[in-house]
């Protein structure tokens, strides 16, 4: 582990994504911004005329053109900023693009209310016209959302608050990625290293208990010093969620969020209930971990250490690419070939640098190949992160290839299926590849950790979000200490058997996903669906694979629950979550036999 994080210009070009496929330079973005403003003037001329079928078609086509330009410029500016959050030129570009986005939403805010006023039967008759075939699902959505769209004036007012509404998330991102400094800790060899988001993931897995404890304590020492600021940022984000939900005539912020995917709130609550009923499995795993580690007491910073301490493997990025491609061979030659081409041709930004956004994600703009941001650090977790983000990227790649613009974007609810299925297939490949008992235990432990962190932990996050939003909706005044208490109590329930410390009560302060309300539950439901689909591909034949590949190519042409049902899994029932937890139990039993 290097003691110093490199600056962006010190990273070799082959390890950076290539954004020139979108724009040769940031200056080119300005041309698209100017074009959007020009097209907007024309688009606003359609106001009051959308009842005419031909005019409506012209408006829809023009809106598609504008939105693709806005999406392209926003995606590019966002990625440029993520390369280095302290780069003032990138920040200025992102601010200009974001301002245009707000101007765009304000200027087009008349569109949906005007469509909502039209007779829905008339719109359906328009949709029967072959020229509207790409807009049929969109028109169906108009009928479903009709009661939640406000008047022209109200929609314009709401749109004008777009930039302010995004302020809590922007403030947290800047604070978390650019301003917070975590100081230095001692690495395993006793040398001081700068603690960063990326390094923390490696240090918390250290076999040296003092190293991981030191990293854990230092990280939360810094977050504690900013507890009040982050609490106010988060509370205002929650208040914004609740306000917008109320204004749009939803019963709760949770209902507003699940409505976007046409998912019943019961799916969210069923996840929490099903995990609660099976929480004993997590407690069994904690007891197993304590036993294997030979510790009289186990703390939160002990949960991430590989149980096979003798098997200390590193995975250079090139090896990770090879393993991922081999692990995904069950998805067919074309899938593997397309992914290999992407990984070798500028899709991925691989290593951490100063100011780079932490974590990992995949993004993309219609008409261009997808991109993947990593902070690769040679761990097994990083290998699986590559497989995960590759799943997102290929889902985007095939959706964009096979769907018109209006139907190309899949919802977040199904997004985690493609990514987690890749992880399941990779795990299956690696377990079958080795006959070494220690390596099998290492991999089984990794798989158990994936379920712990993706199903149990994300469900705990989801429950935290639900409680906090409900308290705001009930008029309860939240404080930093109240948030810490809620989070601490949830940890006591979920992690029975772990010695609770004061630091864990602060974990909510560092979770970026909380600024996208009710997002994280989709990791848990996504993993459950992915395990079911992966088992079908592994145990079935070409039919199961074809259904899955058709799912990847479907984008957002139908509602997510329907798309998953067509692929072979019904998320309206508790069964997929129960099946995933049953798999967790089987792997725990298999691991126990190896120690």
- Residues whose CB is less than 8 angstroms from the CB of residue 413 and which lie 6 or more positions away in sequence, other chains included: 261, 263, 522, 525, 526, 560, 561
- Residues whose CB is less than 8 angstroms from the CB of residue 547 and which lie 6 or more positions away in sequence, other chains included: 536, 566, 567, 568
- Residues whose CB is less than 8 angstroms from the CB of residue 310 and which lie 6 or more positions away in sequence, other chains included: 438
Which two structure tokens, joined as six digits, stand for 473?
């909706």
Give SS3 for 440: helix
Q: Among 352, 389, 507, 544, which one carries the catalytic annotation?
A: 389
Indicate the pairing of strand 371-373 with strand 348-349. parallel
Q: Is 473 a catalytic residue?
A: no
DSSP letter at 578 equals H
Phi and psi for 362 in degrees, rounded to 5? -125, 145
CA 379 vs CA 193, 205, 314: distances in Å: 18, 10, 6
- Extract the runs of DSSP E, i.e. beta strands, from 354-452: 361-363, 371-373
Give SS3 for 349: strand
CA 285 vs CA 138, 280, 291, 430: distances in Å: 46, 9, 10, 22
Indicate the pairing of strand 348-349 with strand 184-186. unpaired
CA distance 347 to 356: 17
CA distance 355 to 357: 6
CA distance 223 to 9: 29
What residues act catalytically? Answer: 389
């Amino acid at each position: 582990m290097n003691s110093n994080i490199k600056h962006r210009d010190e990273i070799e070009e082959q390890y950076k994504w290539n954004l020139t496929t979108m724009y040769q330079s940031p200056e080119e973005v300005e041309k698209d911004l100017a074009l959007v403003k020009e097209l907007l003037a024309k688009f606003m001329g359609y106001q009051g005329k959308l009842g005419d079928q031909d005019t409506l078609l012209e408006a829809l086509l023009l809106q598609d053109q504008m939105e693709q330009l806005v999406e392209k410029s926003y995606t590019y500016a966002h990625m440029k900023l993520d390369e280095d959050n302290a780069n003032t030129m990138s920040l200025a570009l992102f601010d200009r693009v974001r301002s245009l986005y707000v101007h765009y939403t304000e200027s087009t805010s008349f569109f949906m209310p005007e469509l909502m006023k039209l007779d829905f039967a008339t719109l359906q008759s328009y949709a029967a016209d072959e020229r509207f075939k790409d807009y049929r699902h969109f028109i169906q959505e108009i009928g479903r959302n009709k009661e939640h769209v406000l008047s022209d004036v109200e929609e314009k007012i709401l749109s004008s608050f777009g930039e302010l509404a995004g302020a809590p998330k922007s403030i947290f991102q800047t604070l978390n990625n650019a301003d917070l400094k975590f100081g230095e800790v001692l690495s395993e060899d006793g040398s001081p290293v700068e603690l960063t988001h990326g390094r923390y993931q490696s240090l918390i897995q250290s076999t040296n208990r003092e190293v991981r404890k030191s990293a854990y304590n230092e990280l939360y020492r810094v977050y504690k010093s900013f507890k009040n600021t982050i609490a106010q940022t988060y509370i205002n984000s929650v208040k914004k969620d609740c306000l917008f939900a109320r204004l749009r005539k939803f019963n709760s912020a949770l209902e507003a969020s699940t409505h976007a995917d046409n998912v019943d709130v019961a799916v969210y609550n069923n996840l929490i209930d099903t995990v609660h009923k099976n929480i004993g499995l997590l407690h069994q795993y904690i007891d197993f971990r304590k036993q294997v580690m030979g510790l009289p007491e186990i703390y939160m910073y002990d949960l991430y250490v590989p149980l096979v301490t003798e098997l200390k493997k590193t995975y250079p990025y090139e090896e990770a690419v090879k393993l991922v491609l081999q692990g995904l061979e069950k998805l067919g030659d074309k899938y593997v070939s397309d992914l290999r081409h992407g990984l070798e041709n500028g899709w991925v930004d691989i290593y951490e640098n100063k100011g780079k956004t932490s974590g990992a994600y995949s993004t993309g703009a219609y008409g261009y190949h997808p991109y993947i941001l990593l902070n690769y650090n040679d761990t097994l977790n990083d290998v699986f992160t590559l497989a995960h983000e590759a799943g997102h990227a290929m889902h985007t790649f095939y959706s964009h290839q096979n769907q018109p613009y209006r139907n190309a974007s899949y919802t977040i609810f199904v997004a985690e299926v493609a990514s987690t299925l890749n992880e399941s297939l990779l795990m299956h490949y690696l377990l079958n590849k080795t006959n070494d008992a220690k390596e099998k235990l290492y991999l089984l432990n990794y798989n158990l950790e994936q379920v712990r962190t993706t199903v149990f932990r994300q469900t705990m996050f989801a429950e935290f979000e639900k409680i906090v939003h409900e308290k705001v909706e009930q008029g309860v005044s939240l404080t930093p200490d109240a948030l810490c208490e809620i989070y601490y109590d949830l940890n006591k329930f979920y992690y029975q058997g772990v010695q609770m410390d004061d630091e864990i009560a602060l974990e909510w302060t560092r979770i970026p996903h909380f600024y996208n309300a009710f997002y994280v539950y989709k990791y848990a439901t996504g993993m459950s669906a992915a395990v079911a689909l992966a088992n079908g591909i592994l145990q079935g034949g070409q039919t199961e694979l074809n259904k899955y590949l058709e799912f990847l190519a479907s984008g957002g042409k139908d509602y997510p629950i329907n798309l998953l049902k067509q692929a072979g899994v019904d998320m309206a029932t508790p069964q997929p979550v129960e099946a995933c937890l049953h798999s967790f139990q089987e792997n725990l039993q298999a691991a126990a036999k190896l120690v």
